[in-house]
């Protein structure tokens, strides 16, 4: 290759300027130590700055830097960029920039280096047919590896690096936009889906409304198992993380299987995709409860009272409420501008004594009874068990578990007390004496 042409022969390629250059070149080709080879390449460059072998010399520099590994990453990156200015399809130079770019400066590359890396990665994926043409095979790559094996490795690597660079820039909203475009272009690439989920979730504080999107893309990365999917072990880890995140956001895992099923078949969520947050669910429940309370203000008081008397500070709550009349006064459901005296409704569970009772146990929400009514003056007659009455009274006592509220009241505070008629007394009929 580097031999001088014989007298009268027409050169078939580049030739050395003189025998000294030829000797330098041949020595470099034979040198197996990359460090020593770099010294010889430097000598060649100084002695022969102009040479017909400039392309070969650039390649020798790059290969030597690559053989020295991370210690020469900066030099390899810069040399590869230099080669691409003249040979944009050079696979070794492209792959060098794509591999080393994100790792420069202790994994904190400058914006200029990221721009160079992104440009190389985009060029490779946009011009893959040219880069991986049979005629473009590097001499350093075995024939059985070119182009299929190297293309299968390098194309995914290039698009992952593009995504990685957007993540590294720390502009999560811009990264979301760009990674969404990448996933739309390569919908089966779960690595991109996972990174997209990551940058969306990172916006959770400023944009909590985006959390369902992050959950969907994590579900895509966890559930999709076709070409371009993540390893099974990684999918398992993501699924475990997803389950925790979903429960934290939604409160339960209800609906998660449906999300996973949808994400498995489609990389992008439907336009109407929605997951309710615990905040939204709580608001819906509060709004619903407010409607119920407005329609039945007496039971709103019941619920508040029961929550207080069964809560952590039940005794303090009771002390503050003891002696007060319940359920008290409230707004008329038919006309909120009016105030009415409210009553609770309940069914009679038991009476003591059975006739002319002075104590009633009434069921308001618990069929077994949850209110004890005490009367100073006995009620007239009796009523059937299960009969419904309306009442109010003054709080006197309570038990937390089982819940029982004790009120003192009077007959005038009871509506619906309609004692049943006592059965007529049987007349005494003396037995006739036997004749």
Would you place residue 171 in the very low, low, confident or very high pLDDT band (cuts 50, 70, 90)? very high
Q: Is residue 1 part of a domain?
A: no
Q: Is the pLDDT of residue 168 over 50?
A: yes
**Whether residue 87 sits in one domain with residue 200:** yes
Q: Is the pLDDT of residue 2 over 50?
A: no
Q: Rounded to 5 degrees, what are φ and ψ at 226?
A: -90, -160
CATH number for the domain spanning 311: value is 2.40.50.140
Whether cis (ω within 30° of 0) applies to the bond prior to 362 is: no
Would you place residue 90 in the very low, low, confident or very high pLDDT band (cuts 50, 70, 90)? very high
- Domain residues for the domain of 150 are 19-265
Count of CB atoms within 10 A of residue 376's CB?
9
**Mean pLDDT, residues 359-363:** 98
Residues in a beta bridge with 373: 360, 407
**Mean pLDDT, residues 10-30:** 89
Q: Is the pLDDT of residue 9 over 90?
A: no
3 state SS for 113-140: HHHHHHHHHHHHHHCHHHHCCHHHCCCC
Q: CB within 8 A of 214, min separation 6: which ones?
A: 197, 198, 200, 201, 204, 245
**Mean pLDDT, residues 406-422:** 91
**Whether residue 176 sits in one domain with residue 318:** no
Q: Is the pLDDT of residue 429 over 70?
A: no
Q: Is the pLDDT of residue 4 over 80?
A: no
Count of CB atoms within 10 A of residue 267's CB?
22
Q: Is residue 178 part of a domain?
A: yes
User: What is the rounded CA–CA span in Å between residue 190 and residue 194?
Assistant: 6
**Whether residue 304 sits in one domain with residue 246:** no
pLDDT confidence of residue 10: 59
Q: Is the pLDDT of residue 425 over 70?
A: no
Q: Is the distance from CB of 340 to CB of 360 less than 8 angstroms?
A: no
Tell me what the pLDDT averaged over the chain comes to: 93
Q: Whose CA is closest to 122, among 83, 87, 161, 178?
A: 161
**Mean pLDDT, residues 297-315:** 95
For residue 142, give the 3-state DSSP assignment.
Answer: coil
pLDDT confidence of residue 334: 83
pLDDT > 70: percent of the chain: 94
**Whether residue 308 sits in one domain with residue 237:** no
Q: Is the distance from CB of 362 to CB of 317 less than 8 angstroms?
A: no
Helices H / strands E in the chain, number of each: 17, 10
pLDDT tens for each residue of 53-86? 999 999 999 999 999 999 999 999 999 999 999 9
pLDDT confidence of residue 420: 83
Q: Is the distance from CB of 356 to CB of 382 less than 8 angstroms?
A: yes
**Whether residue 99 sits in one domain with residue 226:** yes
Q: Is residue 353 part of a domain?
A: yes
Q: Is residue 427 part of a domain?
A: no
- Exposure string of 400-432, with b = 16+ CB inside 10 Å and e = fewer, is eeebbbbbbbeeebbeebeeeeeeeeeeeeeee
Helix axes 148-168, 190-201, angle to 10 degrees: 0
Q: Is residue 102 part of a domain?
A: yes
pLDDT confidence of residue 253: 95
CATH number for the domain spanning 180: value is 1.25.40
**Whether residue 322 sits in one domain with residue 250:** no
**Helix %, strand %, coil % of the chain (to 5):** 55, 10, 35
pLDDT confidence of residue 7: 47
**Whether residue 334 sits in one domain with residue 231:** no
Angle CA 419–421–427, to nearest 5: 150
Q: Is residue 74 part of a domain?
A: yes
pLDDT tens for each residue of 217-248? 999 999 999 999 999 999 999 999 999 999 99
**Whether residue 155 sits in one domain with residue 67:** yes
User: What is the rounded CA–CA span in Å between residue 170 and residue 285?
Assistant: 38
pLDDT confidence of residue 1: 41
User: What is the rounded CA–CA span in Å between residue 104 and residue 359?
Assistant: 85
Q: Is residue 287 part of a domain?
A: no
**Whether residue 140 sits in one domain with residue 208:** yes
**Whether residue 311 sits in one domain with residue 202:** no
The maximal CA–CA distance of the chain, rounded, in angstroms, is: 171
Q: Is residue 9 part of a domain?
A: no
Q: Look at the chain and report how many structural domains it folds into.
A: 2
Least confident of 335-339, 391-395, 419-423: 419-423
User: What is the rounded CA–CA span in Å between residue 141 and residue 95?
Assistant: 13
pLDDT confidence of residue 424: 62
Q: Is the pLDDT of residue 303 over 70?
A: yes
Q: Is the pLDDT of residue 426 over 90?
A: no
């Amino acid at each position: 290759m580097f031999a001088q042409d014989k007298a009268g022969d027409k050169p078939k390629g580049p030739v050395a300027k003189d025998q000294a250059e030829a000797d330098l070149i041949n020595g470099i080709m034979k040198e197996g130590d990359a460090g020593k080879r770099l010294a010889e390449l430097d000598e060649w460059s100084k002695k022969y700055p102009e040479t017909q072998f400039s392309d070969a010399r650039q390649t020798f520099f790059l290969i030597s830097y690559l053989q020295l590994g991370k210690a020469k990453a900066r030099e390899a990156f810069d040399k590869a960029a230099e080669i691409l200015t003249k040979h944009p399809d050079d696979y070794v130079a492209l792959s060098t920039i794509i591999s080393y770019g994100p790792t420069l400066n202790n994994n904190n590359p400058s914006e200029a280096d990221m721009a160079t890396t992104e440009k190389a990665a985009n060029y490779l994926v946009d011009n893959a047919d040219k880069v991986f043409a049979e005629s473009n095979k590097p001499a350093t790559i075995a024939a059985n590896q070119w182009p299929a094996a190297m293309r299968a490795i390098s194309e995914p690597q290039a698009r992952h690096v593009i995504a990685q660079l957007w993540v590294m820039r720390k502009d999560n909203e811009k990264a979301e936009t760009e990674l969404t475009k990448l996933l739309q272009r390569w919908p089966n690439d779960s690595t991109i889906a996972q990174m997209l989920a990551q940058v969306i979730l990172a916006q959770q504080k400023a944009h909590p409304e985006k959390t369902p999107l992050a959950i969907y893309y994590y579900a895509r990365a966890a559930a999709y198992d076709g070409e371009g999917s993540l390893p099974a072990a990684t999918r398992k880890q993501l699924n475990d993380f997803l389950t925790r995140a979903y429960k934290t956001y939604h409160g339960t895992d209800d609906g998660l299987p449906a999300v996973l099923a949808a994400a498995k078949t489609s990389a992008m969520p439907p336009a109407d995709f929605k997951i309710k947050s615990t905040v939204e669910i709580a608001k819906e429940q509060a709004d619903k409860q407010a409607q119920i309370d407005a329609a039945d203000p007496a039971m709103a008081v019941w619920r508040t009272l029961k929550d207080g008397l069964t809560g952590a500070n039940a005794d303090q709550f009771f002390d503050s409420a003891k002696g007060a009349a319940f359920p008290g006064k409230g707004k008329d459901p038919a006309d909120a501008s009016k105030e009415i005296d409210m009553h609770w409704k309940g069914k009679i569970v038991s009476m003591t004594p059975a006739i002319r009772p002075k104590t009633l146990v009434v069921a308001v929400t618990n069929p077994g009874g949850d209110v004890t009514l005490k009367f100073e003056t006995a009620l007239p007659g009796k009523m059937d068990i299960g009969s419904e009455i309306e009442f109010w009274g003054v709080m006197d006592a309570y038990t937390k578990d089982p819940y029982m509220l004790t009120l003192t009241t009077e007959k005038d505070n009871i509506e619906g007390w309609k004692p049943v008629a006592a059965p007529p007394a049987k007349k005494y009929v003396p037995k006739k004496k036997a004749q």
